[in-house]
Amino acid sequence: MVVFPGGFSGADEPGGSAKFANVILRSLKVRDAMSAFLQRPDTLTLGICNGFQMLMKLGVFKNGEISDFQQATDMTLAHNTNGRHVTDLVGQKVTSILSPFFNTLDIGDTFVVPISHGE
Domain residue limits, the chain: 2-63, 86-117
Q: Where are the beta strands (DSSP E) in 1-109?
A: 2-4, 45-47, 86-93
Largest CA distance in the chain: 43
Mean pLDDT on 68-92: 85
- 58 Cβ partners below 8 Å, 6+ apart? 21, 24, 25, 66, 67
CB-hemisphere CA count at 13 Å for 3? 5
User: Which pLDDT value is given to residue 93?
Assistant: 96
Beta bridge mates, 47: 4
Query: Is the confidence at residue 48, as pLDDT, over 70?
Result: yes
Query: Is the confidence at residue 89, as pLDDT, over 70?
Result: yes
Identify the band that residue 28 occupies on the pLDDT scale cut at 50, 70 and 90. confident
